[in-house]
Structure 1
Amino acid sequence: MASVREAFEMVSDTFGAVRVLQKTGAIDLTRPGAFVHAVKRTKIIGPASAVIVHGAEEYPDAPALTDERGTLTFAEVDRQSNALANAMLASGVEPGSVIGVLARDHRGLILALSAAGRAGYRLAMMNTGFGKTQFVEVAERENVRAMLYDEEFTDLLEGLPDDMPRILTWVDGDRPVPEGVRTLDDLVARGDTSMPPAPESFGGFVILTSGTTGLPKGAKRSLVSPFTSALLLDRVPLPQRGTMVIVSPIFHSTGFAVWGVGTALGNQTVLLRRFDAEKTLAALAEHRAEVLVAVPTMLHRMLALGPEVIKRYDLSALKIIVVAGSALSPTLSEAVQDTFGDVLYNMYGSTEVAIATIAQPHELRQAPGTVGRAPITSRLALFDENNQRIDGTNVRGRLFVRNGAPFEGYTDGRTKQVIDGYMSTGDMARFDESGLMFIEGRDDDMIVSGGENVFPLEVENLLAEHPEVADVAVVGVDDEEFGTRLRAFVVAAPDADPDPDDLKLHVKANLARYKVPRDIVFIDELPRNPTGKLVRRKLPTGPLA
């Protein structure tokens, strides 16, 4: 019976995804030949390259991307991608090789994404927050054979083999270009702009996990489903031939996914190499952007500018803010929609399971902080510690996901736990009476204090509601009496001087006594990675001075 049910679900999901893609303009079923050709091309050169080729064919003179150096049309991105791919092939980097890119969000990163598929390379997208040791370890583990990188990261490459081919993707400093290192600008200006010979198959790409608990793992992706885009478009109405401002790092899942789907719809992408709250507002206003893609920390900093600064910019075109990467607190959810209107979409997923759920603006008004519902092709299940299925309202369980973007395993051969075809997310979740899902925290974040189970996220969200708290993290520390006690690290709101006892009383008035932090530690900034995730292991858990 299970196999029959799964077969029925697969057929249902396929037809549902087709309807979504047709309705949103991602495919045109009146041109079936063009659709079949696009699917075949994607399987050979990959989605990142295919969306650029499609744009160059359909609207060559339309703007594809804008960065601080100006705007490139789809035709220009297409030609420059060919030039980069041909140059790398000519340098001896063979199809099937893994190449790395260590770049901020700008044209160089997009060209690397597009060129890698055309040359048949597997592209490893490296984290711009890496330290030197981490970077070298990951490059060695992924068997990287060439590196494209921004000048500011030159020192990180010192541990790589001297004979590894290198290309500078962005140069803006005073240091001279190292001998033997070519620049992307030179390659695209002088290179062969014709399409390289088609590779035998798509090389794939590697997206690194956040690495909040250690060395980031590499999640490989080479299987391409034409319906993966439906996961996003089913719940987020991205425009066609509009403009998106993406400040969430494209080297990570969220920015990469929205860039790819949005580009397939002919949208222009505006990129900022470094996030700046007011410059983001200025970019939205200047380009009349309909879409902003960010992480919660970025939205918090934009709101911190205050209403006087925000109202200087005409944001009337803004219809969609996609947020993902870390937990969206109920307080931030409400503040964003109170400021920018009901335009917020809270996307939940992971590098491994792709998009699992998306909350739409009306759902966030109904239940601030929810991660919403599963889009088409995504199916959710909760399991207990004995791997038994959990049903019911407001019952917490381990979240597992099955969808149309299957995980192929980590590059070191490991994978995530799978039960009945559903893959573990590593998170705890529950569903409310309306079927909306809430993330309760990581299953390994649970703190046992005095025999009671506490998930830090619940306490963090409550403390974040306090008007004198700008940011907060809660961890467990050793305690002789209770085994573990709670310690809260608090970033005070601007011009505020919160009293520790007031914060404890705020928690005590709303939650059980055992959830009240024993320690309140004030710090200037919480350790977060480039995608906004809290790196708990960097918070001190030893005795307080």
Structure 2
Amino acid sequence: MISPQDTVRKVGDLAKSANVLRRSGLFNPLRPDEALRSTTNVLKYGPFAGVVMHGAHRHPSAPAIVDELGTLTFQELDDKSNALARGLAAQGIGQGSVIAALARDHRGLVLSMLAAGKLGARLVMMNTGFAKPQFADVTKREKVQAVLHDSEFFGLLEAIPSDIPRIITWVDEKDNVSDDTLTLDKLIDGQSTKQYGPPSKPGGMIILTSGTTGTPKGAPRDRVSPLQSAQFLDRIPLPSEGTVFMAAPIFHSTGLSQFTIALALGNKVVFQRRFKPETTVEGVAKHKADALVVVPTMLQRMIDLDPDFLAKHDTKSLKVIFAAGSSVSPDLSNRTAQVFGDVLYNLYGSTEVAVATVATPTDLRKAPGTVGKPPVGVRVVALDENDKKITKAHQIGRLFVSSGLSFAGYTDGRHKNVVDGMLSSGDVGHFDENGLWFVDGRDDDMIVSGGENVYPLEVENLLADREDVHDAAVVGVDDADFGKRLRAFIVAGPSSKKDVDEIKNYVKDNLARYKVPREVIFLDELPRNATGKLLRKDLVEMDIDGK
């Protein structure tokens, strides 16, 4: 039962959200007809297709996306996706069909997303970093009936039944694609570009979790509310009718959410199929981008570029660097400010809970490493072992989030823990006396070593803050005497002496003795997936003798 206090809060959040949308330019109170049209399209076709259709109505000739093949306007996206929807329908794909997209960031993926929305098909956004077993497991579990994929992934599709139809979304010359292979361009050719649909029911999207501990789970995105965009815009001044450089992959929730909002604000979105730190810096300078969307690992690689290279490229146009997907260490936060200025906004959330908190440049200056505060319409609490709310600053608890964007359960029927209507993030954290939140680690990352609770992330951030360390990870491994012990993995910088004892003494001088890693392993790079998430399981199971 909803309490009177909850009702008052929801009404207040609604009013605040509407004001955020007005302030950002996403809602014009003088044109309620435009708002009605946009809302209707979103409800009929889903959020992504609805946003592009609205853009085609408001500014048809404005550039929407830029990829290696050039620029497509909002109208061209709308027209081509109408034609593609008809082409897919001719192949037997329609309302209720489940199709998978296995593609990098380019027009082929965007058109696939739009056509799926117009057909009312369910679209599974596959991870381009999948190995064959993961791809096969997800395809089987989600009952995929057709796969739209880039030609580079021919080999990956050997893992699924040959009778599942395949359509090429992007052709690379090196892949020797035969002339009789079915492609998006062939499906589009000759089809009418008139408005398609609408379906009687939106198909929806399935976003996959990172899968850092096994086969990724599917998180449906079926519930839609235009006001939920306010959670991203409340604390992040994303541009309107500007340019957004999209370095993060849009198959994941970070890239997808920001891509959708960027188009809703009338921006031009610049893609690159493969991330390279040098080309990202060059692209930001070339397009005079107002905003850059990254995962923290990408940002780290950009910051680590030669200072002379960075100095040669004018990136002063950047007003926002949006980073999400994993935590931003205090060191990365400080170094980003030195290179790009006070433009870093770090969003903390997950595929399941969506938005939890946002750290602004002011927050990060005040408390490097913070994940900030919840935006409008979001509540975050820390609960103790008895599920009681923690009200004392600096006391660590399990983090729970209430958000209108939170998912309703995995596609396999499982769900995350829910307490009083709030969803577990799977992390532990705390807040300080200023109300700023901090993530101390994953709930299941905590180890008990010699009777002491230890969160590896604290040690990890300390090591990453060293000038001679490019990257660091700390995990708990089994120990016959202490139950668990810490093992540190370090990617050394050019000035590093790779002195294990010096590293251990550094930790001992800054943290409690029981937080000192028993082992320090130097690696050329840390194992990460396509979205930059650290594969901790791989580190725990690594044969350190053979590396």
Verify: 1:327 aligned to 2:331, yes or no: no
Contact 2:380/2:399 (CA < 8 Å) preserved in 1? yes
CA-based RMSD: 1.4
Helix, strand or coil at the partner of 1:23: helix
Tell me, in whole angstroms, the C-alpha distance in 2 between the residues paired with 1:44 and 1:406: 21
Letter in 2 for 1:414: R
Verify: 1:452 aligned to 2:452, yes or no: yes
Unaligned runs of 5+ in 1: none
1:89-488 residue pairs with structure 2 within 5 A?
A: 89-177=89-177, 181-488=181-488
Helix, strand or coil at the partner of 1:256: helix
Q: 1:93 to 1:542 in 2, by over 3 A?
A: closer
Verify: 1:10 aligned to 2:15, yes or no: no
Q: CA deviation digits over 1:320-350, x for unaligned, max 9?
A: 0000111110000000011100000000100
Tell me, in whole angstroms, the C-alpha distance in 2 between the residues paired with 1:405 and 1:530: 24
* Partner in structure 2 of residue 51 of structure 1: 51
Contact 1:469/1:498 (CA < 8 Å) preserved in 2? no
Tell me, in whole angstroms, the C-alpha distance in 1 between the residues paired with 2:452 and 2:321: 38
Q: CA deviation digits over 1:406-459, x for unaligned, max 9?
A: 312110111111111100000001001110000000000001100101111000
Residue 2 of structure 1 and its aligned partner are, at CA, apart by 6.0
Helix, strand or coil at the partner of 1:316: coil
Tell me, in whole angstroms, the C-alpha distance in 1 between the residues paired with 2:519 and 2:154: 41
1:480-519 residue pairs with structure 2 within 5 A?
A: 480-519=480-519
Q: 1:426 to 1:243 in 2, by over 3 A?
A: same
Name the count of aligned residue pairs. Answer: 545
* Partner in structure 1 of residue 78 of structure 2: 78
Q: 1:372 to 1:79 in 2, by over 3 A?
A: same
Letter in 2 for 1:343: V
Q: Which moved more, 1:99-108 or 1:164-173?
A: 164-173
Contact 1:242/1:266 (CA < 8 Å) preserved in 2? yes
Tell me, in whole angstroms, the C-alpha distance in 1 between the residues paired with 2:415 and 2:57: 39
Helix, strand or coil at the partner of 1:520: strand
Helix, strand or coil at the partner of 2:356: strand
Residue 192 of structure 1 and its aligned partner are, at CA, apart by 2.4
Tell me, in whole angstroms, the C-alpha distance in 1 between the residues paired with 2:410 and 2:334: 37
Contact 1:165/1:181 (CA < 8 Å) preserved in 2? no
Unaligned runs of 5+ in 2: none
Letter in 2 for 1:159: A
Tell me, in whole angstroms, the C-alpha distance in 1 between the residues paired with 2:159 and 2:65: 33
Tell me, in whole angstroms, the C-alpha distance in 2 between the residues paired with 1:101 and 1:544: 37
Contact 1:326/1:531 (CA < 8 Å) preserved in 2? no
Residue 159 of structure 1 and its aligned partner are, at CA, apart by 2.8
Q: CA deviation digits over 1:202-246, x for unaligned, max 9?
A: 111000000111110000011101111001000111111100001
Helix, strand or coil at the partner of 2:36: helix
Contact 1:294/1:322 (CA < 8 Å) preserved in 2? yes
Structure 1 length-normalised TM: 0.98
Q: Which moved more, 1:384-393 or 1:332-341?
A: 384-393
Tell me, in whole angstroms, the C-alpha distance in 2 between the residues paired with 1:542 and 1:414: 29
* Partner in structure 1 of residue 63 of structure 2: 63
Tell me, in whole angstroms, the C-alpha distance in 1 between the residues paired with 2:473 and 2:371: 20
Q: Which moved more, 1:191-200 or 1:359-368?
A: 191-200
Letter in 1 for 2:476: G
Tell me, in whole angstroms, the C-alpha distance in 2 between the residues paired with 1:178 and 1:417: 49
Q: 1:540 to 1:435 in 2, by over 3 A?
A: closer
Q: CA deviation digits over 1:480-502, x for unaligned, max 9?
A: 22111111011101353321111
Helix, strand or coil at the partner of 1:33: helix
Tell me, in whole angstroms, the C-alpha distance in 1 between the residues paired with 2:373 and 2:405: 17
Letter in 2 for 1:39: T
Helix, strand or coil at the partner of 1:406: coil
Letter in 2 for 1:155: G
Residue 157 of structure 1 and its aligned partner are, at CA, apart by 1.0
Tell me, in whole angstroms, the C-alpha distance in 2 between the residues paired with 1:143 and 1:45: 22
Tell me, in whole angstroms, the C-alpha distance in 1 between the residues paired with 2:190 and 2:287: 31
